């Protein structure tokens, strides 16, 4: 177990050394990229695992070039813009703001390179602004193999490509030259100090004490490591690199030796060490676990209160919906009555009906008069006929 921890610590030191080496490689790569006008994407294969991170590296190179051009002193105060971070043009966050910053920065770099390009305004035509930028790049023999509308979002690999080439032209105009770093041979290398975790040191001490106890108890047990050490002492003497190794032991002797050693071979798994580590972790995490349990209880109470409040809200919502339906019904009736009150059609219809009824009454009066006259004539005729009949009868009786 001590060997495992030693190997683990060695691996940590190796990882740190490798990380430092990788940092040196990245710095060297950045310098080479700037010397080659930032053509990092051309050296990357599309199927390479690092192809998706080329844009990040190129953005960092662009930011370093802007710092060399004193953009934080000349550019930022002039336009009152916040400092650009190393991922500003990599990811799309605010297209309008990013495009405006892109055009301002491109115009500033063109002026630094000796060109004439006034700072664009937010109300300017983006197509015209992009056309001016791309025309300047074409004049400096920079290949443009993408459509201009790719720059309208103000971010992405195309925007970084344009700004990077403009920064290169500005550095050339400033007659800036890269110099190699001079490292004196007597200068000590700055290796980072690795701080061991206190918990890991405590665990190592506990394991060392437990290993000492197990060594005292298990002295009579033959371990695989002991056999390896025993045979490893004579390994260098037995090794013959120039000759072919040939075994002089026959199968029977190997079998007898195996039967003799087999009872002494034991694989010991020391679970107490795991239990000790578990108990140590439990002691360390006990306050956090108690706090977590307390938070769980508070969460349960809050959920219960939320359920109670949700029940009241549901009932009130149902009542509100019912009242809303009744209100809509009343509004509908009011609208109907209001429209009927303001509408003059029923009154006109009533007037027409009255006029029609008066006409019919007049016609009925005429018909009644005619009928009364006919009835009166009939009565007079009947009475006259009756008088004549009576007179005729009287005459006959007298004769």
**Cα atoms in the Cβ-side hemisphere of radius 13 Å centred on 115:** 22
pLDDT at 234: 47
Would you say 86 and 60 are in contact if contact means Cβ atoms under 8 Å apart? yes
Tokens 């010397």 identify what position? 35
- Residue 166 CA to residue 66 CA, distance in Å, equals 10
Chain segment 282-328, per-residue pLDDT in tens: 888 888 989 999 999 999 999 988 888 887 888 888 899 999 999 99
Q: How many CB atoms lie within 10 A of CB 174?
A: 14
Q: Band the pLDDT of 251: cuts 50, 70, 90.
A: confident
pTM for this entry = 0.37
- In SS3 terms, the chain reads as CHHHHHHHHHHHHHHHHHHHHHHHHHHHHHHHHHHCCCCHHHHCCCCCCCHHHHHHHHHHHHHHHHHHCCHHHHHHHHHCCCCCCCCCCCCCCCHHHHHHHHHHHHHHHHHHCCCCCCCCCCCCCHHHHHHHHHHHHHHCCCCCCCCHHHHCCCCCHHHHHHHHHHHHHHHHHCCCCCCCCCCCCCCCCCCCCCCCCHHHHHHHHHHHHHHHHHHHHCCCCECHHHHHHHHHHCHHHHCCCCCCCCCCCCHHHHHHHHHHHHHHECCCCCHHHHHHHHHHHHHHHHHHHHHHHHHHHHHHHHHHHHHHHHHHHHHHHHHHHHHHHHHHHHHHHHHHHHHHHHCCHHHHHHHHHHHHHHHHHHHHHHHHHHHHHHHHHHHHHHHHHHHHHHHHHHHHHHC
- Residue 347 CA to residue 350 CA, distance in Å, equals 5
pLDDT at 205: 59
* Angle subtended at Cα 139 by Cα 134 and Cα 144, rounded to the nearest 5 degrees: 45
Calculate what percentage of the chain has a pLDDT beyond 70.
68
Average the pLDDT over 43-62 and give the result: 70
- Residue 148 CA to residue 106 CA, distance in Å, equals 14
pLDDT at 268: 64
Chain segment 120-169, per-residue pLDDT in tens: 888 888 888 888 888 888 888 888 888 888 888 888 888 888 888 888 88
Q: Which of 89, 91, 90 is nearest to 100 (CA)?
A: 89
Q: In the predicted model, is pLDDT for residue 37 greater than 70? A: no
The residues spanned by each domain of the chain are 50-174
Would you say 75 and 108 are in contact if contact means Cβ atoms under 8 Å apart? yes
Q: In the predicted model, is pLDDT for residue 343 greater than 80? A: no
Chain segment 8-17, per-residue pLDDT in tens: 444 434 343 4
Q: Band the pLDDT of 61: cuts 50, 70, 90.
A: confident
Q: In the predicted model, is pLDDT for residue 200 greater than 70? A: no
CATH 1.10.3470 fits 50-174, yes or no: no
Average pLDDT of the residues of the chain = 74
Alpha-carbon 371 to chain mean position: 99
Average the pLDDT over 354-379 and give the result: 94
pLDDT at 270: 62
Instruction: Indicate the range of 191-200, 287-296, 306-315, 381-390 predicted with least confidence.
Output: 191-200
Q: In the predicted model, is pLDDT for residue 368 greater than 90? A: yes
Average the pLDDT over 34-61 and give the result: 60
Average the pLDDT over 370-387 and give the result: 92
pLDDT at 376: 94
pLDDT at 279: 85
Average the pLDDT over 191-219 and give the result: 52
Query: Roughly how many angstroms between the first and final C-alpha of the chain, as a whole number?
Result: 177
């Amino acid at each position: 177990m001590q060997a495992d921890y030693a190997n683990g610590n060695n691996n940590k030191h190796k990882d740190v050394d490798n990380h430092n080496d990788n940092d040196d490689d990245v710095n060297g790569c950045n310098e080479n990229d700037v010397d080659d006008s930032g053509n990092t994407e051309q050296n990357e294969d599309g199927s390479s695992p690092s192809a998706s991170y080329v844009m990040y590296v190129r953005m960092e190179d662009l930011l370093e070039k802007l710092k060399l051009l004193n953009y934080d002193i000349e550019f930022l105060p002039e336009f009152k813009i916040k400092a650009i971070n190393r991922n500003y043009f990599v990811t799309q966050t605010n297209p309008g703001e990013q495009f405006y910053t892109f055009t301002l920065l491109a115009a500033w770099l063109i002026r630094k390179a000796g060109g004439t390009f006034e700072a664009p305004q937010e109300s300017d035509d983006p197509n015209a602004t992009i056309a001016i930028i791309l025309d300047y790049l074409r004049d400096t023999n920079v290949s443009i193999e993408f459509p201009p509308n790719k720059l309208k979002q103000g971010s992405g690999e195309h925007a970084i490509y344009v700004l990077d080439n403009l920064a290169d032209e500005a550095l050339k105009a400033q007659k800036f030259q890269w110099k190699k770093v001079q490292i004196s041979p007597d200068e000590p290398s700055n290796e980072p100090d690795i701080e061991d975790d206190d918990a890991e040191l405590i665990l190592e001490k506990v394991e060392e004490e437990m290993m000492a106890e197990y060594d005292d108890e298990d002295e009579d047990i033959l371990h695989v490591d002991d056999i390896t050490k025993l045979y490893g002492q004579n390994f260098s003497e037995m090794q013959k690199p120039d000759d072919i190794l040939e075994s002089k032991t026959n199968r029977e002797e190997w079998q007898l030796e195996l039967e003799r050693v087999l009872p002494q071979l034991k694989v010991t798994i020391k679970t107490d060490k795991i239990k000790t580590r578990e108990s140590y972790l439990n002691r360390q995490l006990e306050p956090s676990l108690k706090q977590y349990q307390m938070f769980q209880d508070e969460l349960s109470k809050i959920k219960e209160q939320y359920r109670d409040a949700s029940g009241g809200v549901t009932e009130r919502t149902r009542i509100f919906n019912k009242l809303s339906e009744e209100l809509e019904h009343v509004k509908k009736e009011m609208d109907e009555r209001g429209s009927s009150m303001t509408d003059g059609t029923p009154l006109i219809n009533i007037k027409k009906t009255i006029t029609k009824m008066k006409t019919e009454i007049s016609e009925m009066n005429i018909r009644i008069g005619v009928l009364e006259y006919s009835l009166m004539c009939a009565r007079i005729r009947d009475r006259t006929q009756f008088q004549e009949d009576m007179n005729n009868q009287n005459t006959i009786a007298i004769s």
